[in-house]
Amino acid sequence: METINLKINGIAVTAPKGSTILEAARLAHIEIPTLCFLKEINEIGACRICIVELKNGKLVTSCVFPVEEGMEVFTNTPKVLDSRKKTIQLLLSNHNRSCLSCVRSGHCELQELAHELGVEDESYYDGEKTPSEVDYSAAHMIRDNSKCILCRRCVAVCENVQNIGVIGPNHRGFATDIGSAFEMGLGETSCVSCGQCIAVCPTGALTEKDYTADVFAAIADPSKHVIVQTAPAVRAGLGEEFGLPIGTDVKARWLPPCAVWALTRYLIPTSPLT
């Protein structure tokens, strides 16, 4: 295999020819933040948060920029950090910043980067906001474009992994938003409710519908026998959640009482109660 020698932050790194700077950095355990990047699924260089500085002072997006022999790269210079901070401020300027009540708060990649980069003035570039409406039409999820950063990870996973392709960018420029053809609600499309787009979304733009209250109401109703039916992947996921070996099928096991919470989170979107 042909290799390339370069330096990242003064550290000698050898990477396979054709690697990107990001891949070379990860080989050397050097952290570079990313937002739009999803390995082998979405490598489009859209968000520019992974910016790094070359020896000649040029800023390049590390997730798409190939390594070259003798290259010298710096990942944390003042110029790099300033650029990343401005990128986050610009994203936040067209964002519904309702972190206090957002279901993603605490595990939102945008929020985490804003915190990490010391973004104190989140409204620095505030101006007009792209109009958007929340889409509640699907049984399993909610789409809220006011929290979308147009990273297109959802588009790529739907198209390239699930081979469904029911979402994509509509309109152009400042009006661009992610949606279905002819702006139909997701529930009117051939979406298969796999939830992969929710799993890859870095923000609170895509979330599961929460049926927790319905579950507790059904459990409390003496006229009902509450049963749960799950898909195999969900049973395996539940097992992992409770520390069982990967792949354990939990259907024949008694789960602890706290599993009720997990059941409501994981199962109900595909298992209506009757």
- Selection from ligand SF4, ligand FES, none that 205 binds (CB < 5 to 8 A by kind) is ligand SF4
Nearer to ligand SF4, 104 or 235 (CB): 104
Applying CB under 6 A, does 148 fall inside the site for ligand SF4?
Answer: yes
Indicate the pairing of strand 72-74 with strand 3-8: parallel
| CB of 6 vs ligand FES, minimal distance in Å | 18
Nearer to ligand SF4, 8 or 38 (CB): 38
Tell me how far CA of residue 151 lies from CA of 49, 123, 139, 168, in angstroms. Answer: 11, 20, 24, 11
Burial class (CB in 10 A: 0-12, 13-18, 19+), 114: buried
| CB of 99 vs ligand SF4, minimal distance in Å | 3
Q: Which 8-state DSSP code applies to residue 94?
A: T
Applying CB under 6 A, does 110 fall inside the site for ligand SF4?
Answer: yes
- Selection from ligand FES, ligand SF4, none that 26 binds (CB < 5 to 8 A by kind) is none
| CB of 109 vs ligand FES, minimal distance in Å | 10
> Which two tokens mark 103?
């279901």
> What residues have CB less than 8 Å from 218, skipping those under 6 apart?
224, 226, 273
Nearer to ligand FES, 37 or 266 (CB): 37
Applying CB under 6 A, does 123 fall inside the site for ligand SF4?
Answer: no
Nearer to ligand FES, 61 or 189 (CB): 61
Applying CB under 6 A, does 203 fall inside the site for ligand SF4?
Answer: yes
Which of 108, 215, 234, 267: binder of ligand SF4 (CB under 6 A)? 108
- Dihedral over Cα of 132, 135, 136, 141: its sign: negative
Nearer to ligand FES, 148 or 166 (CB): 148
Crossing angle for the helix pair 232-241 and 259-266, to the nearest 10 degrees: 140
Site string (167-196) toward ligand SF4, x via CB under 6 A: -----------x------------------
Nearer to ligand FES, 79 or 265 (CB): 79
> Which two tokens mark 216?
């507790």
Side-chain half-sphere of 263: how many Cα atoms within 13 Å?
Answer: 22
Which of 38, 80, 206, 268: binder of ligand SF4 (CB under 6 A)? 206
Applying CB under 6 A, does 117 fall inside the site for ligand SF4?
Answer: no
Which residues sit at the interface with ligand FES, rule CB under 6 A?
34-37, 45-50, 61, 63
Give residue 273's region: left, alpha or beta (phi > 0; psi -120 to 50): beta
d(CA 133, CA 48): 27
